[in-house]
Amino acid sequence: MTNLQEVPTDELLNFQDFPSVHSSGSNTTIPISQTQITINDVKGDMNANENLRGAGDGPVSDGTGNPPEKAFWTLEYYQKFFDVDTSDVAERIMASITPKWDNTLKRHLREKPDLYGPFWISVTLIFSIAISGNIANYLQHSASEYQWKYDFHMVSIAATTIFLYVILVPFILWALLKYSISPVEDIEGIDDELTTGVLEIICVYGYSLFIYIPISILWFIQINLLQWGLLLFGTFVSGSVLLLTLTPALRLSKHKFLISIGIILFHLLLAAGFMLHFFHGSNDIPAIVPVTSHPHPTQALVLAVANASKS
């Protein structure tokens, strides 16, 4: 058995020149040139191959593995706010009608706010108020001598009011919170609580309106005590959800008491406006046209011409 000779490790990692091997028979001569392979060369080749494979697959990342942020005026920027499942929306709706200190809506507001739920809740509330308001209008004048007609202006009025409330009020609240935060230093985790964005406030305001959908359906019942009771109940539930969800930002404001009162007051005014205009004050709606026995001017002219021809 031949003794094995120990070879240095450096020599094993490098190619070396060896003399040409000549042998008889079918053996061939194999020339070996001197070549040195380093780890950096291998890494460079691997990175080049990865770049070639990734070309054309999508947007170039910013070096951290995440795609670059889109501009806020592009549709791609708002796609992430509509990327939610039905289970996520249902869970947030349930949280919007069950006020709790550590509720699900507050947790999702920080993790992944969405605009899908607030948009469809607002649209549903618009048509719910318009349909129920016309039913209430019909019931109020069913026994009188009036010809009832559907009032389509209710849809436009409700849409303008709701979308202005869901968009404009969060912007005002965001500005008040931004410029009324008390100077706080050396408190761990405080920066994360101060960054409540306007889209996050729009999200919680949109979900807080869900309670008014079933309430608007019951408002067509012409009982004043029931209508006012539903109004106060809806304001209490939705207002509590708003305050509990926005508490991390409100407690750092120098005017947190006044801002909290303003949130509840605007929510109460919105609900009272819905009830008084669409369900309780329907006597002033111009869609009710009285029935008259006077002939139409065109019909009177035709009758006059017919009588003149007979004479």
Query: What pLDDT score does 199 carry?
Result: 84
What is the pLDDT tens value at each position of the chain, 311 positions in all?
A: 555 555 565 555 555 555 555 555 555 554 544 444 454 554 555 555 544 444 444 444 445 455 556 655 566 666 666 777 788 788 888 888 888 776 556 666 666 778 888 899 999 999 999 999 989 888 887 766 667 788 888 899 999 999 999 999 999 999 998 888 765 554 444 444 445 778 888 988 999 999 999 999 999 998 999 999 999 999 999 999 899 888 888 888 888 899 999 999 999 999 999 999 898 754 444 444 444 455 555 555 545 655 555 55
Q: pLDDT value at position 52?
A: 44
Question: HEC states along the chain?
Answer: CCCCCCCCHHHHCCCCCCCCCCCCCCCCCCCCCCCCCCHHHHHHHHHHHHHHHHCCCCCCCCCCCCCCCCCCCCHHHHHHHHCCCHHHHHHHHHHHCCCCCCCHHHHHHHHCCCCHHHHHHHHHHHHHHHHHHHHHHHHHCCCCCEECCCCCHHHHHHHHHHHHHHHHHHHHHHHHHHHCECCCCCCCCHHHHHCCCHHHHHHHHHHHHHHHHHHHHHCCCCCHHHHHHHHHHHHHHHHHHHHHHCHHHHCCECCHHHHHHHHHHHHHHHHHHHHHHHHHCHHHCCCCEECCCCCCHHHHHHHHHHHHHHC
pLDDT of residue 116: 86
Tell me the domain boundaries of the chain. 78-290
Q: What pTM was estimated for this model as a whole?
A: 0.64
- pLDDT for 141 equals 74
